[in-house]
Amino acid sequence: MPPIASSSVETHSPDNLIAGSAPIVTNDGTLASGQNLARGAVLGRITASGEMVLSDPGAVDGSEVPVGILVHAQDASAAAKACQFYVGGEFRSSEMVWHAGYTTDAEKRAAFDGSAIVVR
């Protein structure tokens, strides 16, 4: 007779990405192929395709404007993949993954101006 119940143990590894008590809001999207991004990556959306990439302030394809923060690490190295991203809440800049083009704290804090994301 198979067991009626089973159990397992998982390790919880908390991070400090979420910084406050503001409501957390997420959205769904597609991470463009050719990327392997960590949780907390700052995402921009390519206008022509609607796909998400690491936001680069020097880009001219729409992705220069940050639209969210990646909820879970996602490997889209081989093909585009569905992803979730935060579009609202308070987040710690030091825990976010920024493109090297964001060089100052002031740029990082201002990146989400006009959105429901607050960078601390």
The confidence score (pLDDT) of residue 14 equals 66
Residue 20 counted as domain residue: no
d(CA 80, CA 34): 8
Residues 6+ apart with CB under 8 A from 65: 44, 45, 55
Residue 6 counted as domain residue: no
d(CA 45, CA 101): 16
Domain count across the chain: 1
Q: Which domain holds residue 30?
A: 25-119
Position 7 pLDDT exceeds 90: no
CATH of residue 38? 2.40.300.10
Note the pTM of the prediction, 2 decimals: 0.87
User: And the tokens for 52?
Assistant: 């998400």
Helix (H, G, I), strand (E, B) or coil at 54: strand
Residue 48 counted as domain residue: yes
* pLDDT one-digit tens code per residue, 57-85: 999 999 999 999 999 999 999 999 999 99
Helix (H, G, I), strand (E, B) or coil at 3: coil
